[in-house]
């Protein structure tokens, strides 16, 4: 039994802020002098990010016009975890609903009542009754739907959700699994000058992605068969990428050593994924890599002998959205999916994501196209394309 990723929908908040404008906000919030401001702007210029989306309009405004952060020179009193979670509860549901609707609009054959499982993913907010129950009510899902929450796992969490969906579909041929990854990273801005925080503040944005996984391909568009997963762990990197809840928000640790740790483990991760499969890395020409940052993408290219063209979907998402934690790799997969046609049937797709631990996740997929319906012509069953060709003769 094979499971299939059939459609991906996405959504972003309304506030689209250019990267240089965010840099200006950060320099002001940190009360940087001219020298530090130049250094900060240089960091933002080389990030590979052109713009990011946020639920907070403050990042595009000057001090004195803020809605969430205090209109004081040092932003004090700085927002608490409770205030940030209030913003999360306000915005997570409508953003998630928008992503789900975008997903299901691509699958007119899927009735909302036929969805059997709901998996919600987030590391930027939690509450109970939570987003999962609110989605059941807002979307009109069955009240008996099986719900699972994947929380606080970071940027690779979408892979764990896909593993769950794969297991559900393999266990039950009638299963239809809706995955919703919603991350509001920008509500956790930390007003600290350490390099880890400067880098984090330069990368993360807000977004939601919804995925439908089931036991057969979509009828009207290519799908991705979930063929294999492999997880690697580099414990030496546990201090280099971390995510902690503190009094004034969730604090990200993202050191400059992360690309080096990924460089250390990415080849072994790929080899382990493929070692029992009848495929080699050289056979793979489609990639969906989580753009944790520009340096991470360049490191993977060097280690696996990929080109920037191979990595084009990741660079595109990084440029247009930044890093949206768990939702990001699904944005990349969506861009890839939109380029596929029936001619790509059977082509392998390799995907990676990374997160705290240091965790490295790999997934191998295969492009799948549903069999076309048959029509009858002159008393004989003919494939639709054959029938169309005959009708033109």
| pLDDT over threshold 60, residue 383 | no
Confidence of residue 45 (pLDDT cuts 50, 70, 90): very high
Domain boundary among 196, 214, 232: 214
So which residues are the catalytic ones?
Answer: 155
Q: CATH number of the domain that 258 lies in?
A: 3.40.47.10
Is the Cβ–Cβ distance between 358 and 234 less than 8 Å?
Answer: yes
Check if the beta carbon of residue 181 is closer than 8 Å to that of residue 131.
no
Q: Are residue 163 and residue 34 in the same domain, yes or no? A: yes
pLDDT digits (tens, 9 = 90+) for 76-104: 999 999 999 999 999 999 999 999 999 99
How confident is the model at residue 257, as a pLDDT? Answer: 55
Position 36 scores a pLDDT of: 96
User: What's the CA gap between 255 and 196, in Å, rounded?
Assistant: 5
Give me the helices (H) in the chain, please. Answer: 19-29, 34-45, 81-104, 131-139, 157-171, 195-203, 258-274, 294-304, 312-321, 328-337, 384-391
Tell me, yes or no, whether 326 and 359 share the same domain. yes
Are residues 257 and 279 located together in one domain of the fold?
Answer: yes
Per-residue pLDDT of 232-242, as tens digits, reads 888 776 666 77
Q: What is the CA radius of gyration of the chain?
A: 22
**Which residues are 273's β-sheet partners?**
none
- pLDDT beyond 50 at 382: no
User: What's the total number of domains in the chain?
Assistant: 2
Q: What is the mean pLDDT of residues 128-137?
A: 97
Same domain as 293, residue 204: no
Q: Are residues 187 and 328 in the same domain?
A: no
Rounded mean pLDDT of 154-175? 97
Q: Kindly state whether residues 294 and 355 are assigned to the same domain.
A: yes
Burial of 239 (0-12, 13-18, 19+ CB in 10 A): exposed
Mean pLDDT value of segment 297-301: 94
Kindly state whether residue 379 falls inside one of the protein's structural domains.
Answer: no
Asked if 171 and 25 sit in the same domain, the reply is: yes
Nearest to 93 by CA among 204, 213, 210, 244: 210
Instruction: Work out the mean pLDDT of the chain and round it to a whole number.
Output: 91
- pLDDT surpasses 90 at 139: yes
pLDDT for the residue 180? 98
- What is the pTM for the complete model shown? 0.93
Which residue, 115, 181, 170, 139, is CA-closest to 333? 181
Supply φ then ψ for residue 170, to 5 degrees. -70, -30
Closest CA to 153 of 189, 128, 122: 122
Give me the domain span that covers residue 155: 4-214
CA distance 376 to 383: 8
Q: Is 5 helix (H, G, I), strand (E, B) or coil?
A: strand
Range scoring the smallest mean pLDDT among 46-60, 138-152, 308-322, 367-381: 367-381
Assess whether 116 and 237 both reside in one domain: no
What is the reported pLDDT for 265? 82
**Is residue 157 one of the residues assigned to a domain?**
yes
Residues composing the chain: 393
Which of 214, 241, 264 marks a domain boundary? Answer: 214
Give me the mean pLDDT over the 199-219 stretch: 96
Torsional sign, CA 378, 383, 388, 389? negative
pLDDT over 50 (residue 385): no
In a domain, 101, yes or no: yes
């Amino acid at each position: 039994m094979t499971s299939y990723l059939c459609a991906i929908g996405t959504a972003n908040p309304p506030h689209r802020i250019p990267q240089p404008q965010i840099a200006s906000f950060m320099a002001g919030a940190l009360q940087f002098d001219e020298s530090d401001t130049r250094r900060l702007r240089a960091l933002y210029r080389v990030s590979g990010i052109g713009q990011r989306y946020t639920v907070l309009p403050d990042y595009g405004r000057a001090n004195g016009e803020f809605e969430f952060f205090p209109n004081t020179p040092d932003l004090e009193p700085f927002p608490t975890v409770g205030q940030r979670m209030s913003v999360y509860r306000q915005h997570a549901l409508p953003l998630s609903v928008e992503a789900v609707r975008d997903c299901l609009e691509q699958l007119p054959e899927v009735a909302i009542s036929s969805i059997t499982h709901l998996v919600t993913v987030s590391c930027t907010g939690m509450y109970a009754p939570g987003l999962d129950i609110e989605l059941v009510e807002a979307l009109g899902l069955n009240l008996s739907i099986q719900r699972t929450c994947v929380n606080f796992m970071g940027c690779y969490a979408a892979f764990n959700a896909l593993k769950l969906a794969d297991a559900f579909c393999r266990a039950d041929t009638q299963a239809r699994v809706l995955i919703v990854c919603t991350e509001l990273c920008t509500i956790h801005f930390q007003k600290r000058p350490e390099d880890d925080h400067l880098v984090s503040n330069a990368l993360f944005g807000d977004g939601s992605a919804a995925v439908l996984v089931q036991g057969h391909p979509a009828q009207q568009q290519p799908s991705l068969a979930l063929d294999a997963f492999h997880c690697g762990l580099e414990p030496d990197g546990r201090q280099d990428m971390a995510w902690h809840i503190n009094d004034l928000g969730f604090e990200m640790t993202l050191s400059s050593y992360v690309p080096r740790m990924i460089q250390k483990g990415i080849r072994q991760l790929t080899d382990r994924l493929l070692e029992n499969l009848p495929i080699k890395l050289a056979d793979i020409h489609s990639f969906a890599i989580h753009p944790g940052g520009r340096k991470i993408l360049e490191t993977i290219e060097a280690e696996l002998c990929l080109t920037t063209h191979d990595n084009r979907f990741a660079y595109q998402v990084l440029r247009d959205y930044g890093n949206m934690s768990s939702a990001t790799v699904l944005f990349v997969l969506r861009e890839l999916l939109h380029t596929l046609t029936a001619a790509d049937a059977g082509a392998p797709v390799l995907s990676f994501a990374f997160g705290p631990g240091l965790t490295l996740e790999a997934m191998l997929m295969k492009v799948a196209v549903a069999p076309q319906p048959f029509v009858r012509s002159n008393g004989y069953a003919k494939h639709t394309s054959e029938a169309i060709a005959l009708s033109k003769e």
